[in-house]
Amino acid sequence: MLVVAFVAFSLFQYVGDPVQLMLGQFATPADRIRLTHELGLDQPFYVQFFHFVVNAVHGQFGVSLRIGKPVSVLLAQRLPATLELSICAALLALAVGIPAGVYAGLRPNSWLARLAMSASLVGVSLPTFLIGILLILVFAVKLGWLPAFGRGDVVHLGGWTTGLLTTTGLKSLIMPTVTLALFQLTLIMRLVRSEMLEVLRADYIKFARARGLSDRAVNFGHALRNTLVPVITITGLQLGSIIAFSIITEQVFQWPGMGLLFVQAVSYADIPVMAAYLCLIALVFVVINLIVDLLYYVVDPRLRIDRTSAAGH
């Protein structure tokens, strides 16, 4: 994470000059020099970086140059929106992707599986923003069923805001969720399908069938379970990227999450927000990788045995 912060900070030397944007076109040189100095932008970047790290360790990320609110408050306000969207998208991707993948793996030649496979090509190859805009065009402009932008009405629960409890909130959630989930969904489906095809050829499946176990027990108890390790790895990493790359979806739908905050920050050279966001995303990836590693133990008994035997030596 220190590396991420360092790289981010070296890049900030090239994002532009917030002072120019803050003072407008008629500022005097004296004002410009004063503000540059107050913001510490006249110092070499390693000094700025050092200050940033020291403050960050103390939980201080400074004040957004764009909207004048503390960065930590801004991120905390935006986190619920992004998490809600990402988790819904991940759940949708899993809930549709795994069954579809299993089905396509079990009946690779059925017309439904073929249809799903060719449809998945669309999901893999169309860029997110295009899918989002197409959805808006169809469901908001032509049909008028769903709102084109925003999060609808939200309910405040303590420090958390949720759109899951209101009709407008739920309606607003549909299109961004589908947009964000589509790529992951097709990826998971294709992955599960190819893993299933592989596993179904394995000896232990033939053996299981020879034992006269029901199709259900064979397919789900043995086959699916053995496909899960790679699926969990990929899904975990993808969840990280869903959160990180919700930027595009959030921008298309004006979804008030952290990604949108970041995009606005970039166009305003709002350095404190950019730095804090990148560090937070780095943290998310670290945490998710940790969880993925822990999940291996749950689904794969061999790893558990290895550990106990290793402890015995």
Residues at the site binding another protein, with contacts judged by CB under 8 A: 14-18, 20-29, 31, 34-35, 38-40, 60, 62-63, 65-70, 73-74, 129, 133, 136-137, 140-141, 144, 147-151, 251-254, 256, 260-261, 263-264, 266-269
Spatial contact of 243 and 75, defined as CB atoms under 8 Å apart: no
Tell me whether residue 65 or residue 199 sits nearer to another protein (CB atom). 65
Tell me whether residue 60 or residue 289 sits nearer to another protein (CB atom). 60
User: Rounded to an integer, what distance in angstroms lies between the CA atom of residue 206 and that of residue 200?
Assistant: 8
Nearest-approach distance from CB 32 to another protein, in angstroms: 9
Vertex 65: Cα angle to 63 and 69 (nearest 5):
40
* 166 Cβ contact partners less than 8 Å away, ≥ 6 residues apart: 152, 153, 154, 155
Nearest-approach distance from CB 168 to another protein, in angstroms: 11
Which residue in 263, 260, 242, 253 sits closest to 135, CA to CA?
253
Q: Which segments of 204-282 are extended strands (E)?
A: none
Spatial contact of 183 and 123, defined as CB atoms under 8 Å apart: yes
Which residue in 218, 216, 227, 192 sits closest to 117, CA to CA?
192
Nearest-approach distance from CB 253 to another protein, in angstroms: 7
What are the DSSP calls for 251-263, one per residue?
Answer: HHHT--SHHHHHH
Nearest-approach distance from CB 208 to another protein, in angstroms: 51
Nearest-approach distance from CB 182 to another protein, in angstroms: 18
Tell me whether residue 161 or residue 227 sits nearer to another protein (CB atom). 161
Tell me whether residue 38 or residue 306 sits nearer to another protein (CB atom). 38
Tell me whether residue 87 or residue 133 sits nearer to another protein (CB atom). 133
Nearest-approach distance from CB 125 to another protein, in angstroms: 20
Nearest-approach distance from CB 15 to another protein, in angstroms: 6
Tell me whether residue 15 or residue 234 sits nearer to another protein (CB atom). 15
Tell me whether residue 205 or residue 248 sits nearer to another protein (CB atom). 248
Which residue in 183, 185, 152, 186 sits closest to 84, CA to CA?
152
User: Rounded to an integer, what distance in angstroms lies between the CA atom of residue 200 and that of residue 215?
Assistant: 12
